[in-house]
Structure 1
Amino acid sequence: MDNANSLLRVENLQVHFPVLQGFLLQRTAGTIKAVDGLNFALQPGETLGLVGESGCGKSTTGRAILQLVRPTGGNVYFKGRNLAQMEGEELRQMRRQMQTIFQDPYTSLNPRMTVGNIVSEPLIVYQLAKGKEKQERVEELLKLVGLNPKFINRYPHEFSGGQRQRIAIARALSVNPDFIVCDEPIAALDVSIQAQVVNLMQDLQEELGLSYLFIAHDLSIVRHISDRVAVMYLGKIVELAESQTLYTNPLHPYTQALLSAIPIPNPEIEAKRDRILLEGDVPSPANPPCGCNFHPRCPYVMDSCRQDPEPFLQDVGNAHQVACHLVNSEQGV
């Protein structure tokens, strides 16, 4: 992976939230390590899938990259410039090149604004168009996402969930961004609509040269849209590889367990397949276990998993990175 020419480069990204006690005289009683040392890069025109259980830090990662949540530590380089060190107008201008699509189209659109006003708001904020030019741009964007431009004066409640998400996509595209954080953009949609929205996003990516960070928990959708996939567990990336490599040869026990939960549409194969059932609950990010974070639930746990320092991502060949003592010892890393 060529980090030097990356569109986005994340180095040791950390987002920690203090746990406060007391009503008037609040004191810090602990720290929730929502994101704890992420390293990855994203190339122009690439889609990186980010998967993991609820609460593992996926959405916080996306918000920290856009500086909607300020990182506790680490750096985020976009086109070679460190976003973590920017503030005010400088950061606002950089955000024009980075947009986001939120999970729930029912809450991410202002119900008091018309579709035209919603889609044109970024154009007004960045003074990109006004008057007739602005209206023509909005109509162009609605056509681009598969909506009738005559809907420009309608309100969000007059649309279905899939149509609302198309409006949100049009809003994100209005300022011609290079990079979009897609925060579970199809999770709130009907299954029959999900594929349509994903196909639309792929068409737009090819047409406009977009790069996506695609956050999701549906592994089958992630496989369909992603060039590479990163698997998160308790604030850390435990495996990162090209999509085909990860799905055909998962090395980390957590990744293997996630993939074993995907149903296979063949009753005979599904009946013979062995599921990997993880025992116990996900540890608290306020009090992560010593050693490897995954060792309390790992079916292959060794003494070194409990006693040695946490494993870091190691390249095991073919741009496949894994953070696991067992895998690294077998690979001789």
Structure 2
Amino acid sequence: MANTDNILEVKNLKKYFDMGRGSVLKAVDNVSFSIKRGETFGLVGESGCGKSTTGRTIIRLYGATEGQVLFNGQDVHKMGGRDLRSFNRKMQMIFQDPYASLNPRMTVGDIIGEGIDIHKLMAGRQRQERIYSLLETVGLNSEHASRFPHEFSGGQRQRIGIARALAIEPEFIIADEPISALDVSIQAQVVNLMKELQEERGLTYLFIAHDLAMVKHISDRIGVMYLGSLVEVAEGNELYRKPLHPYTQALLSAIPIPDPEIERTRERIILEGDVPSPINPPSGCRFRTRCPKAMPECAQIVPELKEVEPNHHVACLLYS
């Protein structure tokens, strides 16, 4: 039975891609986590680790190879008919590239109003007022409704993407690296806007990013991915205060610190070698080929994600 405190439960999720000639790319491999109502769950890791594929599989842009995605207790990948239509309204996505995700042939008003039309929520003057209200909510104005995406800056386009996601009043939003394509000066504005909207509307977020400092700013809990698998899950402050997995420790050691004295004296963990191919991942622990603390048994045993401290889970034989 699903936990009623959780809006989303991901259980042993796998997403494999057939690459031909017998090769299989294991983009997401046996990933499990849950997200409580009203919280922000950050998902971080290097490029190519499977974070975005996880998000796209949750929202059904990709079909799952194995496992379950339970949204409000219902299996997303078994939905059809009215249940699927309801799900499509309750879960929305903000995409990484704010230009590629907006139709260049549609006005901003029609882009935001598309979901309203599909779900037949309102029409005419009421629809127009709803679009104007959404534009003002994200820091734009009603005059922008008649313009096209190419007439806006990157930050403004991402605000349009947020307005589109909000148009049908979803409960859950997957933000797939929503700030990575933006200038640093704009990133904080967009993240702060998302936090304000969450408080006002009771939204739940899955926030996917590789910027660990920004993820800490917005997330209640954080999951760290490496080569298709979760290696550590903990509350945000706890993860930064006491990272347990060697990979998490290396990631956090790379975050610049504004104090030059601390930055000069602290220890940096440099990972050697490249990330292995997800088509042919290492046996046992996938991180062992780059891990400074690897042991012989790491090549034979696949570590399970286990709770080693209260609300702190890690997949590492050092803690088994």
Give TM class, smaller chain: over 0.9
SS of the residue 2:271 aligns to: coil
Amino acid at match of 1:319: N
The answer as to whether partners of 2:306 and 2:314 remain within 8 angstroms in 1 is yes
Structure 1 position 300 matched with structure 2 position 298: no
1:282 aligned residue (237, 260, 275):
275
Q: TM-score, normalised by structure 2?
A: 0.98
2:173 aligned residue (176, 180, 201):
180
Q: What is the match of residue 13 of structure 2?
A: 13
Q: Give ranges in structure 2 of 5+ residues lacking alignment.
A: none
* Aligned-partner Cα distance in 1 for 2:58–2:96: 17
SS of the residue 2:309 aligns to: coil
Deviation at 1:241, TM superposition (A): 0.1
Amino acid at match of 1:272: T
Identity of aligned residues (%): 60
Structure 1 position 65 matched with structure 2 position 58: yes
Q: What is the match of residue 313 of structure 2?
A: 321
SS of the residue 1:202 aligns to: helix
* Aligned-partner Cα distance in 1 for 2:45–2:82: 34
* Aligned-partner Cα distance in 1 for 2:16–2:134: 38
Q: What is the match of residue 109 of structure 1?
A: 102
Q: What is the match of residue 331 of structure 1?
A: none
* Aligned-partner Cα distance in 2 for 1:315–1:119: 42
2:219 aligned residue (223, 226, 245):
226
Deviation at 1:90, TM superposition (A): 3.3
Q: What is the match of residue 242 of structure 2?
A: 249
Q: Are the structure 2 counterparts of residues 109 and 218 from structure 1 closer, same or farther at C-alpha, using a change threshold of 3 Å?
A: same
Structure 1 position 310 matched with structure 2 position 307: no
RMSD: 1.1
Amino acid at match of 1:178: E
Deviation at 1:4, TM superposition (A): 4.1
Q: What is the match of residue 291 of structure 1?
A: 284
Deviation at 1:252, TM superposition (A): 0.1
Task: Give a deviation string over 1:43-91, Cα, whole Å, max 9, x none.
Answer: 1100000000110000000000001100000000000111111235532
The answer as to whether partners of 1:30 and 1:286 remain within 8 angstroms in 2 is yes
Q: TM-score, normalised by structure 1?
A: 0.94
Task: Give a deviation string over 1:15-48, Cα, whole Å, max 9, x none.
Answer: 0111213xxxxxxx12111000111110110000
SS of the residue 1:175 aligns to: coil
**Structure 1: which 4+ aligned runs deviate by more than 3 Å?**
87-90
Q: What is the match of residue 201 of structure 2?
A: 208
The answer as to whether partners of 1:12 and 1:38 remain within 8 angstroms in 2 is yes
